[in-house]
Amino acid sequence: MRALIQTEAEFMPELTDEQKAARVQRFRRIIKYRNWFGWVFAVVGGMLFWIGFEDGQSPIIMLNGAMFFGYGLFMVWQTRRAREKLDGREG
């Protein structure tokens, strides 16, 4: 009877060096764009927070701005960690 949980060898076939390099290159491109969008989210969030603060009657806009800002910084933090792991592994 076959086990319900697949082993790593069954689940992922062995990749060639070219396939591994292509996956790493694609992942680098993804984290580059994620870094850019993280900064965009942070700037937009800061602007939304400032607009809500200036208005004084918009706590929801301030909250939305704070959430955008926080998520943007979180995205940047994630990309830096991923890039450090890639550089450490390849170095």
Query: Does residue 90 have a pLDDT over 80?
Result: no
In a domain, 9, yes or no: no
Cβ 51 vs Cβ 64: under 8 Å: no
Question: And the tokens for 70?
Answer: 């926080």
Number of domains the chain is built from:
1
In a domain, 51, yes or no: yes
Query: Does residue 5 have a pLDDT over 80?
Result: no
In a domain, 18, yes or no: no
Give the Cα separation of 41 and 33 in Å (integer). 12
Question: And the tokens for 81?
Answer: 């960690």
In a domain, 63, yes or no: yes
Q: Domain of 44?
A: 33-85
| pLDDT for position 69 | 98
Residues 14-63: tens digit of each pLDDT? 888 898 888 889 999 999 999 999 999 999 999 999 999 998 888 999 99
Counting every residue written for the chain, the total comes to 91
In a domain, 76, yes or no: yes
Give the Cα separation of 76 and 36 in Å (integer). 8
Q: Give residues with Cβ within 8 angstroms of 24, minimum separation 6.
A: 86, 90
In a domain, 67, yes or no: yes
In a domain, 59, yes or no: yes
| pLDDT for position 40 | 98
In a domain, 3, yes or no: no
Residues 49-86: tens digit of each pLDDT? 999 999 888 899 999 999 999 999 999 999 999 999 98
